Structure 1
């Protein structure tokens, strides 16, 4: 099931073919016409919420209610709700928002694909940089947080940040947390995964420090594209999901979550120690090789000999997975500092 957030009121919808269905409205119609519910709208708001995090928190009951609503609507020639409102919308006629609420968090794994880190090490001659890369790979999981309040969605333009000349892309797969999790064991983490989505972890590569200000290079308006929806499918193996990045149609990254150094289960165990993960939180698993930063050679001073693989205004960037769909953004504005 593909769970989307759509329209001006940011309602939960289920993508069916080329349409998106307002399942809260469809479930209210089902309750009104097929049951003896006294307050069908109130019951629908509780059982199949229109708000994403409430829908996620409702768990299997919300998914079951959504399936009931879809089955009912497929048999009903009238696709309008109890008050005559539209319930089925063509995908090409609505706005899909990033499927994350503002109060949720994006935990992004750092240095979590060995091939990405090895490629970066191979392309630098600076001993200090090599030591830093080795330190990032060694030991337990490492992560940073991206601000969910300023995420971008599939189809959005991404404004080139003025503070950089070196804007980079990172194709990633993220798991969506389905219930409160604290101090969980890695072996139990699978039951806390509600679904999966794509993330483009946009990154600034100028003068990156892996100290306290590292997050400055990872956070700016639009710095995480999330979507286009959340795939809820228990048959998916979180450690066997392919992901690719294309720049202007050229494949730059092609990887699979099976190559993650620390699995989603290990990340979940680490992040939940003494801290609660909440329904709707995302854990993004890191990126494989093929980013501009790991594909470009740096000299002994850490400067890029050729920065042509970094993004330019007008570039079209697509992150895709055969299991999850695709998100596409166009870079707008001007490359900072370049005349």
Structure 2
């Protein structure tokens, strides 16, 4: 099942083929048609809520209600709700928002694909850079946080940040948490995974420091594209999901979560130590090789001999997975010092 957020009211929808169904309205119609209750709208608000985090918190019950409502609509060719409101929309006629609530967090794994880190190390002549990359790979999980309030969605333009001349892409798979948990054992983490979505971890590569200000290179308006929806209840193996990045149609990255250094379970255990994870939180698993930064040769001073792999205004970046879907964004604005 594909759980999306759509329209100006940011309601939960279920994507079916080329349509998106207002699932709260559909469930209210189902309850009214199949039970004696006089409070079908109230029942729907409780059991199959219209806002994302409430829907996620209802867990299996909300998913079962959604399936029942979809079957009822399909069997009876129903397209309108209790008050005649539209329930079924063509997917290409509505705006899909990033499937994350503003209260939720985006935890992003750092240095979590060996091939990505090895490629970066192979392409640098700086001993200090090699030592830094080795340190990042060694030891336990490492992460940073993206600001969920300024995420971007499939189809949004990404404004080229004025503070950079080196803008990069990172194709990633993320898990969405389905229930609250603290001090979660890795062996138990699977039960906390609600579903899966895609992330483009847009990154600034000018003078990157892995010190206290590292997050400055990872956070700007639109710097995490999330979507296009959350794939739920499809029996996916979190450690066997493919992911790919294309720039202007050219494949730049092609990887699989099986190559993660630290699994989603290990990340969940690490992130939940003494800290509560909440329904709707995202954990993004890191990126495979093929980014601009790991594909470009650095000189002994840390600069790039050729920066043509980095993004330019007008570039179209697509992140995709056969198991999940795809998100596409166009870079706009001006690359200040180059093309």
TM-score by length of 2: 0.99
Indicate the residue corresponding to 1:162 in structure 2. Answer: 162
* Separation in 2, partners of 1:50, 1:137: 41
Deviating 4+ runs (over 6 angstroms): none
Structure 1 residues 277-292: aligned runs within 5 Å: 277-292=277-292
Residue 282 of structure 1: how far off its partner (Å): 0.1
Residue 160 of structure 1: how far off its partner (Å): 0.2
Q: Secondary structure at the match of 2:182?
A: coil
User: Do residues 59 (structure 1) and 59 (structure 2) align?
Assistant: yes
Structure 1 residues 1-339: aligned runs within 5 Å: 1-338=1-338
> Once the two structures are superposed, what CA deviation does each residue of 1:12-44 show, in whole Å capped at 9, x if it has no partner?
000000000001000001111110112110110
* Separation in 2, partners of 1:186, 1:154: 32
* Aligned partners of 1:14 and 1:22 also within 8 Å: yes
> Once the two structures are superposed, what CA deviation does each residue of 1:119-161 show, in whole Å capped at 9, x if it has no partner?
0000000000000000000000000000000000000000000
Residue 175 of structure 1: how far off its partner (Å): 0.1
For structure 1, list consecutive stretches of 5 or more residues without a partner in the other structure: none
Residue 234 of structure 1: how far off its partner (Å): 4.5
* Separation in 2, partners of 1:35, 1:179: 30
For structure 2, list consecutive stretches of 5 or more residues without a partner in the other structure: none
Please provide the CA RMSD for this pair. Answer: 0.7
Residue 181 of structure 1: how far off its partner (Å): 1.0
Residue 78 of structure 1: how far off its partner (Å): 3.3
* Separation in 2, partners of 1:129, 1:77: 62
* Separation in 1, partners of 2:86, 2:25: 9
Aligned residues, how many? 339
**Deviation larger for 329-338 or 177-186:** 329-338
* Separation in 2, partners of 1:105, 1:76: 40
* Separation in 1, partners of 2:323, 2:336: 35
> Once the two structures are superposed, what CA deviation does each residue of 1:62-116 show, in whole Å capped at 9, x if it has no partner?
0000001000000123310000000000000000000000000000000000000
* Separation in 1, partners of 2:154, 2:116: 25
> Once the two structures are superposed, what CA deviation does each residue of 1:256-276 show, in whole Å capped at 9, x if it has no partner?
000000000000000000000
